Amino acid sequence: MIHLRGSGLDVVVDLAHGTPTIVHWGAPVDDPDAVVAMLERTLVHGSPDLIAPVSVVPEHAGGFAGRPGLLGRRRRGRRWTPRFERVDHHVDGSRLVAVADDPVAGLRLTTTIDVADCLVIAIELTNTSATDRYLLDGLTVTLPVAEHLDELLTFTGRWTREFHPERAPWPHGAVTAENRRGRTSHETPSLLFAGRAGFGEWHGEVIGAHLAWSGNHSWLADRLADGRRYLQLGELFHPGECSLEPGESYRTPEVVAVWSADGLTAATQRFHRRLRARPEHPASPRPVLVNTWEAVYFDHDLDTLRDLADRAARVGAERFVLDDGWFGSRRDDTSGLGDWIVSPDAHPDGLAPLIEHVTGLGMEFGIWVEPEMVNPDSDLFRAHPDWVLTTDGYEPPLGRNQLVLDLARDDAFDHVLRQLDALLRDHDIAFVKWDMNRDHIGGSGADGAAGTHAQTLAVYRLLDELRRRHPDVEIESCSSGGARIDHEILRRTDRVWTSDCNDALERQTIQRGASMLIPPELMGAHIGPPRAHTTGRRHGLAFRSATALFGHLGIEWDLRSLDDAELDAIAEVVALHRRLRPLLHGGDVVRFDTEPAFVAHGVYATDRSEGIVSFARVATSPGLTPPPLRLPGLDPERHYRVEHVALPRERPGPNRTAPAWWSDGLTATGRDLATVGLQLPALHPESAVLLHLQRVD
């Protein structure tokens, strides 16, 4: 029996069987042996004469009736149901490594369980046969879940509508999601939670699990006939996609799991802490940026871009990002992808005049690329039509007029690396927006087998090599907005583009969902134009600002259309963000439960000395005024000064009077703020207000 104690949770692992079995994880326990005895199950009628453990790799041959953790076979379908015997294990601080063998099937499993910050599990499978290939159909990590955690929170999405929550009772039988899009996906983020029915942001036990992987994946939440629950997460292989030659190994992506006794906010802060503990986590203040996409799209013209840059500097931006359209024949989205050479049509004198202008204004320069893709109408494709993921004998379907470049091929990989390396070497570029806009559909590698697994690893390698050569360049993970947001891509990127939707109303939900996985300093959030390009809705500057302020702030709007007063208003928002930035990007994200017509969230300083809270009305509601906003999680014994932070162009709601504290501020204890709450004025739908909290004793 192994008892691992982490900063956030305890884990009890039983090694009596072949593969390790997590008997308990979550709440700290005193006596692991007693825990095992307490949870011993009985044989019941109507089931096999043994109780198969829900191990990290449950075994069909061991009597497990759910989905086995390892699916695979040797020639002619043999050795399809392995059984492992324990070989060895060692514990090193918070980490357990356990080895198990199946000498009959010729397989070895090495499981790593680490609880340093979150519960992190990865499993390696090795083909120990000296002669035979092993065809691997799936290796997933299985996590048992306590039976009282009976409600699921999962996410759905699509382009411009990422991270939408769905809650449902956890049924008997399985709920599953499968992602075959070759990227983390808008549709099926690899993130789910389970909690005691009715759990909220600050109450109810809850666990969460995330698969740190940027390719195909599946997750499963299953309840067995005997009542036991488990989650299973792992990479999803196409038929025949993964095989192991003698001596070869496959390692699963990491499953990162969190636990909290008191609701979602505390659980999700664990994900943030893990990311913030990475050595590569951005340490410098996150530069406010201006991105050219919704301002000019493909219409690149030096004078226009210089004008935009002047205005970016005027409002206090610190980085200017030139989006799609600067290279090859890329005058629209039908051609040019793959040719990472500055276009003489769009930029006759190269990028230097623009870059010098931008850096002369005191801003960094950033640039857009989409290195995994190629348009059939490109010099690259004309020269190397065989460098793409397609399936022999079939016409490849296009997505946004493009195909996927097979980066698992050394020649294609080296070519792209050389071009990107030259781009970064020859220009003063501080930031790369790395986009990926096409699902993998029917993509085979050079050997004719499905190519998504190899491609995902090749993308990681390409990013790693580029970072090694250009360690000071920051990279953003973009994929048609937020289709590639996961902890593995974040090992090699410094920001994600959360969504192509800059509509503040939609963003309230999208960012709330994304905040359950990533902290605000990594979450790209832009102030768009008054009329959102992707929805056609109109919002005032205050609502758009209050929404974007809580991420890595950017502006994506044709600033040339603004007069001086409007530019001053944006400059005020940027200044406010920069003033609050250490708190916003270093504190603990807090979300609050309120009525469905409102979205309330904020950031508290880790020592609870300060906080900033946003309260938004996203719809009308039966009550004329919002319910008092309760702010749990502050220091109950201390007093806080609460002040309304007025945003430029904030419009008063339908109020005939305002509470006195709205103009003068108010002082209250953390306890009273948590239990009684603050009565806010009425708000118009699609508006938000900000509150600043300062501890005063």
Catalytic residues: 435, 500
Q: 3-class SS at 618? A: coil
Pair 189, 181: CB distance under 8 Å? no
- Least separation in angstroms between residue 239's CB and ligand DGJ is 31
Going by the DSSP 8-state scheme, the letter that residue 349 receives in this structure is T
Q: 3-class SS at 312? A: helix
C-beta of 228 vs 330, nearer to ligand DGJ = 330
How many angstroms separate the CA atoms of 644 and 623, rounded?
A: 22
C-beta of 533 vs 649, nearer to ligand DGJ = 533
C-beta of 155 vs 293, nearer to ligand DGJ = 293
Element (H, E) at 418: helix 410-426
Q: What angle do CA 272, 266, 282 make, to 5 degrees?
A: 15
C-beta of 110 vs 437, nearer to ligand DGJ = 437
By C-alpha distance, which of 220, 81, 258, 197 is closest to 141? 220
656: Cβ contacts below 8 Å, ≥ 6 apart: none
- Least separation in angstroms between residue 511's CB and ligand DGJ is 16
Q: How many Cβ atoms sit within 10 Å of the Cβ of residue 661?
A: 15
- Least separation in angstroms between residue 481's CB and ligand DGJ is 5
Query: Which residues of the chain form contacts with ligand DGJ (CB under 6 A)?
Result: 293, 323-324, 368, 435, 437, 478, 480-481, 497, 500
The alpha carbon torsion through 424, 428, 433, 438 (nearest 10 deg) reads: -40
CA 694 to chain centre: 31
How many angstroms separate the CA atoms of 257 and 271, rounded?
A: 8
- Least separation in angstroms between residue 435's CB and ligand DGJ is 5
C-beta of 25 vs 434, nearer to ligand DGJ = 434
Pair 186, 158: CB distance under 8 Å? yes
- Least separation in angstroms between residue 202's CB and ligand DGJ is 34
By C-alpha distance, which of 456, 466, 379 is closest to 429? 466
* Pairing assessment for the beta strands 206-212 and 254-260 based on DSSP bridges: antiparallel
Three-state SS letters, 283-299: CCCCCCEEECHHHHCCC
C-beta of 526 vs 601, nearer to ligand DGJ = 526
How many angstroms separate the CA atoms of 100 and 125, rounded?
A: 10
By C-alpha distance, which of 438, 21, 68, 495 is closest to 288? 495
Tell me which residue has its CB nearest to ligand DGJ.
Answer: 324
- Least separation in angstroms between residue 552's CB and ligand DGJ is 14
- Least separation in angstroms between residue 457's CB and ligand DGJ is 23
Pair 321, 368: CB distance under 8 Å? yes
C-beta of 141 vs 478, nearer to ligand DGJ = 478
C-beta of 127 vs 479, nearer to ligand DGJ = 479
- Least separation in angstroms between residue 528's CB and ligand DGJ is 11
Question: What phi and psi values does residue 586 have, to the nearest 5 degrees?
Answer: -125, -15
- Least separation in angstroms between residue 479's CB and ligand DGJ is 7
Going by the DSSP 8-state scheme, the letter that residue 531 receives in this structure is B
- Least separation in angstroms between residue 247's CB and ligand DGJ is 42
C-beta of 294 vs 650, nearer to ligand DGJ = 294
> Alpha carbon of 348 to those of 344, 355, 617, 697: distances in Å?
4, 14, 48, 62
C-beta of 497 vs 640, nearer to ligand DGJ = 497
- Least separation in angstroms between residue 18's CB and ligand DGJ is 46
- Least separation in angstroms between residue 179's CB and ligand DGJ is 18
The DSSP line for 458-494 is HHHHHHHHHHHH-TT-EEEE-BTTBS--STTGGGS-S
The alpha carbon torsion through 374, 490, 504, 569 (nearest 10 deg) reads: -100
Pair 108, 128: CB distance under 8 Å? yes
Let me know if 247 is exposed, middle or buried by CB neighbors in 10 A (0-12, 13-18, 19+).
exposed
| CB crowding 331-369: b at 16 or more within 10 Å, else e | eebebbbbbbebbeebbeeebeebbebbeeeebbbbbbb
C-beta of 112 vs 437, nearer to ligand DGJ = 437
- Least separation in angstroms between residue 336's CB and ligand DGJ is 11
How many angstroms separate the CA atoms of 444 and 389, rounded?
A: 5
C-beta of 373 vs 517, nearer to ligand DGJ = 373
> Alpha carbon of 565 to those of 543, 561, 576: distances in Å?
18, 12, 17
How many angstroms separate the CA atoms of 107 and 551, rounded?
A: 46
C-beta of 339 vs 500, nearer to ligand DGJ = 500
By C-alpha distance, which of 252, 218, 224 is closest to 64? 224
How many angstroms separate the CA atoms of 364 and 317, rounded?
A: 9
